[in-house]
Amino acid sequence: MTTSTIMEVVDLSVDYVLPDRTIKAVSHVSLDVNKGEVIGIVGESGSGKSTLAMTFLKLLEYPGKIKGGKVVYYGSEGKSDVLKMKPSALRKYRWKEVSMIFQSAMNSLNPVMRIEDQMGDVMVEHGYKEDEVDERIDYMLQLAGLTKNVRKSFPHELSGGMKQRVNIALALSCDPKILIADEATTALDVVVQRQILTRLLKLKDDLSISLIFITHDISLVANIADKVNVMYAGKIAESGPSNEIFDSPQHPYTKALLASIPSLEQEKSVKGIRGTPPDLSEEIKGCPFKDRCDSVFDRCKNEVPELKMVSQGHYAACHLYGR
Ligand SMILES: Nc1ncnc2c1ncn2[C@@H]1O[C@H](COP(=O)(O)OP(=O)(O)OP(=O)(O)O)[C@@H](O)[C@H]1O
Ligand SMILES: [Mg+2]
């Protein structure tokens, strides 16, 4: 961590404990979020991205169980251990310190409430006075790129892109320091996706917040993230500065993800990743990527690769690197 670290995730592991099996959704994940930074979390479906993000807000529900590790938040009132927060502390932390646009948020707006009432409720609940709320709703909608008249609308009257902008306005309504966006653009067409992404980045700069951007689409984080964490089977396979991850990826999984991006500029063949991720409810022997990896060798079959530094700030969990 550095002096500008605002959140520190240390060796976090999460299981879903079902009657007949236990799914190791997140295993020993560590990462730092610095002030004003964009952190990309990338990985295929089921790699544990949402589970990880939920623990940042202590929102994990049954049958989810924290198996170990911690989430430390460095706020204006000092350092706090998020996973040990009491309900009263959590109420102040969520929305006001760290806020999240949930995966499938577009369908989670209350269909029978006007946008202004949904936004107003959140603000009042978090201590804003009734008389400032009204002005604040307009301000937040404008920040998200919407006009004031949207406030009188019901969700069904808005397009997908507009609903997602409302979610951005909602998530920012209590001035959080960190915004987590979980697949915030996935359900949108590419043009609207780009607009939402551009808006998120502008807001990040204007409001000096940190953004944790979660996606299965590695091409989306290429131009926006300062640092990227590539997740595979609940673990970080590779992490580092964005330019390094894209210009000199080390882990075969990251290379495969990058090779699967279609490109307009150059004629390259797009290569999907063969096979499927491992079943997280079964014990994984050796490297979790071994069955899909073109560079697999004996050691990968028996020994779990640890994250090792490949260059300053750049780590990969692969036996090709380090001894
Ligand atoms: N409530 C739950 N009960 C049991 N298993 C769960 C639950 N939620 C998630 N899982 C399992 O935990 C693993 C990680 O899921 P998670 O939703 O965190 O992945 P993800 O990377 O966000 O995937 P996606 O890209 O599809 O959103 C998966 O194997 C998933 O099936
Ligand atoms: Mg998810």
Residues with CB under 5 A from ligand 2 (ion): 49-50, 103
What is the distance of C-alpha 70 from the center of its chain? 17
- Ligand closest to CA 49: 1
pLDDT band at 290 (very low <50, low <70, confident <90, very high): very high
Residue nearest to atom 30 of ligand 1 (CA): 46
Residues in contact with ligand 1 (CB, 6 Å cut-off): 16, 23, 25, 43, 45-51, 63, 103, 216, 280
pLDDT in tens, 255-270: 999 998 877 666 666 7
- Establish if 144 belongs to a structural domain: no
- Ligand closest to CA 48: 1
| Dist CA 204 CA 34 (whole Å) | 13
How many domains are there within the chain?
1
- Establish if 13 belongs to a structural domain: yes
**197 CA distance to ligand 2 middle (Å):** 18
Distances 194 to 59, 174, 201, 224 between C-alpha atoms, Å:
29, 25, 11, 11
**151 CA distance to ligand 1 middle (Å):** 34
Query: What pLDDT is recorded for position 3?
Result: 67
| Dist CA 218 CA 225 (whole Å) | 10
| Dist CA 98 CA 57 (whole Å) | 7
| CATH code, domain with 58 | 3.40.50.300
Q: How many CB atoms lie within 10 A of CB 284?
A: 18
Residue nearest to atom 6 of ligand 1 (CA): 16
- Establish if 63 belongs to a structural domain: yes
pLDDT in tens, 15-54: 999 999 999 999 999 999 999 999 999 999 999 999 999 9
- Ligand closest to CA 65: 1
Query: What pLDDT is recorded for position 266?
Result: 61
Atom of ligand 1 lying closest to residue 214 CA: 22
- Establish if 47 belongs to a structural domain: yes
Atom of ligand 1 lying closest to residue 216 CA: 25
Query: What pLDDT is recorded for position 264?
Result: 62
Q: Which domain holds residue 183?
A: 5-97+176-316
- Establish if 103 belongs to a structural domain: no
- How high does pLDDT run on average in the chain? 93
Residue 221: Cβ-neighbour burial (10 angstroms; 0-12, 13-18, 19+): buried
Long-range (24+ apart) CB contacts under 8 A made by 154-157 are 154/111, 154/112, 154/113, 154/114, 154/115, 155/109, 155/110, 155/111, 155/115, 156/111
